[in-house]
Amino acid sequence: MKRIFLNSIFVLTTFWLFSCERTIDVKLDQGETLLAVDGWITDENKQQSIRLSTTAPYFQNGKPPAVTDAIVTLSDSDGNTEQLTHAGNGIYNINQIEGIVGNTYKLQIRWQGETYEAQTEITPNVPQIDSIVVKKEKRPNIPASKGEGYFLFYNGPENEGVGDNFRVKVYRNDSLMNRPDNIIIAEDQFVDGNYLSNLELNNGDPFRVGDKLKVEVLSITRDAFNFYNELILQTQNGGLFANPPSNVRTNILNINSKGKKAVGFFGGASVISMSGKVEGDGQVIK
Amino acid sequence: MRKIVYVCLLWIAIILQSFAQEKYTLSGKVKDASSGEELIGATVIIKSLKAGAVTNEYGFYSITVEKGSYELTISYVGFVDIVKKIDLQSNQTLDILLKPEGSEIETIEVVGQEDSPRQNVESTSMGTVQLEMKTLKKMPALLGEVDVLRSLQLTPGVSTVGEGAGGFNVRGGGVDQNLVLLDEAAVYNSSHLFGFFSVFNPDAVKDVKLIKGGIPAQYGGRLASVLDVRMKEGNNQKFTASGGVGTVSSRFAVEAPIIKDKSSFIVAGRRSYADVFLRAFGNENQRQNQLYFYDLTTKANYKINDKNKVYVSGYFGRDVFQFGDAFKINWGNATATVRWNKTFNPKLFANFSGIYSNYDYNLGVPTGTQSFDWASRIETFQGKADFSYFSSPKSIFNFGATALRYNFYPGSIKVGKGSIFNPFTLDRQNALETAIYIDHEHKVSTRLQLQYGLRYSWYNFLGKGTVYDYVGETGKRKTATNPRTFKSYQSIADYGNLEPRFSMRYQFDESSSFKASYNRTSQYIHLISSTTAASPTDVWSPTTNNIKPELADQVAAGYFRNFKNNTFEASAELYYKTMTNQIDYVDGALLLLNKQMEGDLLYGLGRSYGAEFYVKKNSGKLNGWLSYTLSKSERKIDGINNGEWYRAKYDRTHNLSLVLIYDLNEKWSFSSNFNYATGVATTFPNARYEMDGIIVPHNTGNVRNNYRVPAYHRFDLGATYHKKKTGRFEQEWVFSLYNVYGRKNPFTVYFRQEPAQDGQIQAPQNTQARELSIFASIIPSVTWNFKF
């Protein structure tokens, strides 16, 4: 956060005039191909699935190569185990096991002679959204903004007890706002038990009148919070105070520690949401 | 420990007695005749005896020789040498006034100016760079701001992690491994404006010396170097005011005698004014913004009598940024030094100092539901006593002791009414660092000179507070266990280190010598910074029960030679340095406002080696220097780069600088800089994967710093026009063109998804490499300076 602040201060100084950012050609090595896991189990009542793919050369654009021949098994702390069915394009559907708050889940993937495992849980302490307030604002000072627009502000209590971690997802017209700078994560270390009011949700990327909106708050594990924190750091790592580039953590572990590594994350979350339609300045969605 | 002290004392006593012949001491100070400023490093030589002395930091010299008549030659770079006859029949005090070159009153006999540059060959010091403010002021500067640190980056062995990054790196050391002293007070952050400018006001600086190797025993506390910046004392002859109006800032300085020849002061201030323009011309939003820096440097001295003199000096600087109600940050240093020079007898010179230093920052949101104010601070109190015993021209003893108290306030959050945040405070940390040292400058023969010394430093990490042990897998965040609570000032952990220092010079002839040195240094405080370039919000951490003191051992050897009757001084040096307990961070480390921050630290080794070449021309119409460094700096940290050695982030294989200054006539002088450096090391990905539509860069080998950004090079031009003096009023115009050919030097290269177009919700799947250049175009500037 501090880094982003400092970088944006730099943007606001006159020195910005002398600086220049441009796309350059870089020849990169090609790394070995690793298994990439992108999977979530939540307490929502909908079809849930795990997506398996592989890493690709960095500049190889387009969808990542799907892994279609893995054996994927999911088990939970209630003693249930199921083998997920491949539904095409590397999507493995969860058919029986349900995401229940308080349960832990173990994912096992067997692929190309290696066995990978990941564990997560669905943490309780789900907060509550009281309201989303829509405000019309001018933002000439925020470089990412396109001037004027409608911004969403969150209001709701935070539960007592330090250790809650959240991700907030905002949907505009049914699509997840999903640029790297849209990812919002939060922890309660400094706000524990307080009423959270007036928190902007769309990071300078405004809505228009008539847009459908949906806000989801996911209660996630500390490990998932750290994963997103590193992902944010590494996907927007520019500016005057960049961090040394490094790999984002993973919780997908080869049971043979000398075996091939994997990347990605398997997480559990409990989800609450609120939806509405942007009508005008001062509108309160409850 | 006590034994060592006894042995040292005994040794001194023996040497003192061995000189009980009929010898007398000539002592005094060498000063600038025009201002009364004491000159540091001036030479006083008795040619017939091939004996001499060099003035210390207070302009003091002392020579003890048999009684008789002698001819003294006194010289200092940029000043006219003088020759003086003395008849030494008893101890004698002699203050010597030197006149600056080019001053109107050039009547005394001129004996040439070959003496000062001889120090290059004759002194034992190596790995030392001395910059004259006069030269610095003529060099082309970024936006016309004369900058000590940027100019130092054009000398051998000094590099930076990027143009515009704060601080500097010496022989493979981190920015926190330089002891930056302003009148003996440690400066904990040497940057204004993120690192674009340094905190030293050129109008108030008298002398700048960087010691990279063969560090004498009197200095300690950092691994890599000592940057000793000494302030002017203030003109004790007449009132002068000087100042300048530049592109970025304006300066004004006043110096004057309080009592002529006895007491004087200087006050120098500087302020940037980008915000003034913003307020005048900006829109409504911009008018609420504040962005400026300022600093105030002041010093006064009072000569009680020939044997006692006191100095008081202080610095206060601040950077302030506020963007309406959205965000504010400010940071700055404050230092204060009180010194008492005492000449106990003509042979024994002493200085006692009391020093205060503080660095702090505040950042936050001023109002609203998200308002908070986050503050962090380091504060130190130091007492110091340094003695020099000038036993004979062949033998000088330096000894002393110091005690340094640290208060660390790592972070606290204050909140206003209605804020969603809770207040939060990290415990204050206390530490005491003490040291004693003794050092002997010994001329064994005309050819061989030695300087050897020993420093013993002892550090104590003090309560109160709760400390932990940390357990877990190497390279990953560790878990705190075994909490222990300590009472106020109860010792939590202590460390002692013996630091031997040695340097020698063997002179082949009048114009060439060989030098070698070894030094061990220890460091007890560490700048915790996970970003590539140091940021103003980085926090200093003490050595604790978990963080161990950093240690470095350096050996260096060099050949020094002067050419053409000392017009050129040249040197070639080799060094090899190893470092222990170097700090790095786990991926995604949480270093601020974290009670268990130590769990995110990694430790390892460092090593660096290189060759430095330096040729400097001191006199004539054309002067300047050529510097070339070939070096390698590496780190080996458990948990990074699979535990293998990797290049440090500021590792630059080649680093070449050429500085030229040409004085055309009394009106015009021209200057140029050229700098070429290998690009810094960084990590590039070799793969990507997708998480929920977001492309994540990945390095499958998990390596660090496997690539380099493109090379850095830059050419600057400068010109100074001195207008003819009208009465007392002098003025000059300084023009500079920075980065003449507009090179887009890369500061960082990073990888990202192509940004989304307007209204597009999902960023495209395409990836790109982006290069950021901070000063990517030609930057012209004009500065007007005046003096009366």
A17 domain residue, yes or no: no
Tell me if residue A21 falls in helix, strand or coil. strand
B722 domain residue, yes or no: yes
* Contact yes or no for B689 and A53 at CB 8 A: yes
- Say which range, A16-20, A188-192, A274-278, B241-245, has the weakest mean pLDDT: A16-20
Choose the closest CB to A58 out of B327, B686, B776.
B686
Structural domain span for residue A110:
35-124+247-268
B121 domain residue, yes or no: no
Q: How far is A18 from chain B (nearest CA, A)?
A: 5
Q: How far is A271 from chain B (nearest CA, A)?
A: 16
Asked whether residue B262 falls in the same domain as residue B310, the answer is: yes
Choose the closest CB to A31 out of B693, B701, B707.
B701
Question: Rounded CA gap, B784 and B309, in Å?
Answer: 36
Residues of A in contact with B324 (CB under 8 A): 141
- Say which range, A68-77, A201-210, B468-477, B659-668, has the weakest mean pLDDT: A201-210
Q: Which of B649, B689, B706 to mutate to test the interface with A (most CBs of A within 10 A)?
A: B689
Asked whether residue B181 falls in the same domain as residue B275, the answer is: no
A91 domain residue, yes or no: yes
CA distances from residue B141 to B146, B297, B728 in whole angstroms, order as listed: 6, 21, 27
pLDDT value at position A177? Answer: 87
B120 domain residue, yes or no: no
Q: Which of B584, B684, B750 to mutate to test the interface with A (most CBs of A within 10 A)?
A: B750
| Band of residue A145 on the pLDDT scale cut at 50, 70, 90 | very low
Asked whether residue B675 falls in the same domain as residue B776, the answer is: yes
Among chain B residues, CA nearest to A208? B759
* Contact yes or no for B777 and A2 at CB 8 A: no
pLDDT value at position B324? Answer: 75
Asked whether residue B318 falls in the same domain as residue B434, the answer is: yes
Determine the Cα angle at B481 with ends B477 and B485, to 5°.
125
Residues of B in contact with A32 (CB under 8 A): 687, 700
Choose the closest CB to B422 out of A64, A194, A233.
A194
Question: Rounded CA gap, B602 and B708, in Å?
Answer: 24
Residues of B in contact with A33 (CB under 8 A): 687
Residue B434 corresponds to which tokens in the numbers above? 């003490």
Asked whether residue B737 falls in the same domain as residue B589, the answer is: yes
Give the residue among B228, B317, B229, B303 at the shortest CA–CA distance from B265.
Answer: B303
CA distances from residue B684 to A171, B1, B32, B769 in whole angstroms, order as listed: 33, 50, 55, 9
Choose the closest CB to A28 out of B684, B750, B758.
B684
Residues of B in contact with A242 (CB under 8 A): 531-533, 748, 750
Residues of A in contact with B702 (CB under 8 A): 247, 261
Q: What is the pTM of this model?
A: 0.90
* Contact yes or no for A190 and B413 at CB 8 A: yes
Among chain A residues, CA nearest to B761? A177
Q: Where are the beta strands (DSSP E) in B476-596?
A: 479-486, 491-509, 512-523, 525-528, 539-542, 550-563, 568-585
Per the structure, how many domains does chain A have? 1
Q: What is the CATH number of the domain that holds A64?
A: 2.60.40
Residue A180 corresponds to which tokens in the numbers above? 């790297």
A54 domain residue, yes or no: yes
Asked whether residue B509 falls in the same domain as residue B479, the answer is: yes
* Contact yes or no for A179 and B756 at CB 8 A: yes
pLDDT value at position B195? Answer: 82
Asked whether residue B542 falls in the same domain as residue B584, the answer is: yes
pLDDT(A7) > 70: no
* C-alpha distance across the termini of chain A, in Å: 29
Question: Which residue type occupies A60?
Answer: Q
Q: How far is A96 from chain B (nearest CA, A)?
A: 23
CB pairs A-B closer than 8 Å: 267
Among chain A residues, CA nearest to B291? A13
Among chain A residues, CA nearest to B475? A249
Contact B625, B617 (CB under 8 A): yes
Asked whether residue B591 falls in the same domain as residue B523, the answer is: yes
A255 domain residue, yes or no: yes
Per the structure, how many domains does chain B have? 3
Residues of B in contact with A48 (CB under 8 A): none
| Residue B632 Ramachandran class (φ > 0 left, ψ -120 to 50 alpha, else beta) | beta
pLDDT value at position A77? Answer: 94
Contact B157, B631 (CB under 8 A): yes
| Band of residue A147 on the pLDDT scale cut at 50, 70, 90 | low
Asked whether residue B491 falls in the same domain as residue B389, the answer is: yes
Choose the closest CB to B744 out of A20, A140, A196.
A20
pLDDT value at position A116? Answer: 97
Q: How far is A229 from chain B (nearest CA, A)?
A: 7
Among chain B residues, CA nearest to A176? B761
Choose the closest CB to B761 out of A64, A175, A246.
A175
pLDDT value at position A179? Answer: 84
Question: Rounded CA gap, B378 and B374, in Å?
Answer: 14
Place of tokens 């990054």: B165
Mean pLDDT by 10 residues, chain B (788 residues): 56 54 86 88 86 89 89 87 89 89 46 57 87 87 88 93 88 94 94 87 91 94 94 91 90 93 93 72 63 93 92 94 82 96 92 96 87 93 96 92 96 88 91 96 92 96 93 90 93 96 93 95 94 88 96 96 89 96 90 90 95 91 94 94 93 95 92 95 93 92 92 95 88 93 91 79 84 90 92
Q: How far is A59 from chain B (nearest CA, A)?
A: 6
Q: Which helix (H) or strand (E) holds B303?
A: strand B290-305
pLDDT value at position B315? Answer: 96
Give the residue among B247, B278, B271 at the shortest CA–CA distance from B332.
Answer: B271
Q: Which helix (H) or strand (E) holds A24?
A: strand A20-24
pLDDT value at position B7? Answer: 56
pLDDT value at position B14? Answer: 53
Which domain-ending residue is among B112, B142, B159? B112
Asked whether residue B96 falls in the same domain as residue B144, the answer is: no
Contact B376, B55 (CB under 8 A): no
Question: Rounded CA gap, B198 and B160, in Å?
Answer: 13
Residue B548 corresponds to which tokens in the numbers above? 């161990």
Structural domain span for residue B299:
229-787
pLDDT value at position B114? Answer: 43
CA atoms within 13 A of residue A178's CA, in its CB half-sphere: 15
Q: How far is B787 from chain A (nearest CA, A)?
A: 29
Place of tokens 């691994």: B223
The predicted-structure confidence for A12-43, as pLDDT tens digits, reads as follows: 566 666 788 899 999 998 999 999 999 999 99
B33 domain residue, yes or no: yes
Q: What is the CATH number of the domain that holds B201?
A: 2.170.130.10
* Contact yes or no for B687 and A55 at CB 8 A: yes
Among chain A residues, CA nearest to B688? A58
Choose the closest CB to A242 out of B370, B750, B766.
B750
Asked whether residue B370 falls in the same domain as residue B438, the answer is: yes
Choose the closest CB to A18 out of B685, B768, B775.
B775
CA distances from residue B423 to A9, A135, A196, B413, B659 in whole angstroms, order as listed: 25, 29, 15, 5, 52
Q: What is the CATH number of the domain that holds B412?
A: 2.40.170.20
Place of tokens 């015009």: B668
Which domain-ending residue is among B212, B228, B244? B228
CB count in 10 Å sphere of residue A245: 24
Q: What is the largest CA-CA distance in chain A?
A: 62
Among chain B residues, CA nearest to A240? B533
Choose the closest CB to A12 out of B323, B530, B587.
B323
Q: Which of A1, A4, A26, A216 to mutate to test the interface with B (most CBs of B within 10 A)?
A: A26
Contact B606, B648 (CB under 8 A): yes
Q: Which of B698, B750, B760 to mutate to test the interface with A (most CBs of A within 10 A)?
A: B698
CA atoms within 13 A of residue B472's CA, in its CB half-sphere: 16
B119 domain residue, yes or no: no
A233 domain residue, yes or no: no
Residues of A in contact with B591 (CB under 8 A): none
Q: How far is A11 from chain B (nearest CA, A)?
A: 11
**What is chain A's mean pLDDT, rounded?**
88
Residues of A in contact with B531 (CB under 8 A): 3, 241-243
Contact B422, B93 (CB under 8 A): no
Asked whether residue B699 falls in the same domain as residue B735, the answer is: yes
Residues of B in contact with A9 (CB under 8 A): 291, 321, 323, 327, 329
Q: How far is B646 from chain A (nearest CA, A)?
A: 13
Residues of A in contact with B686 (CB under 8 A): 28-31, 57-58
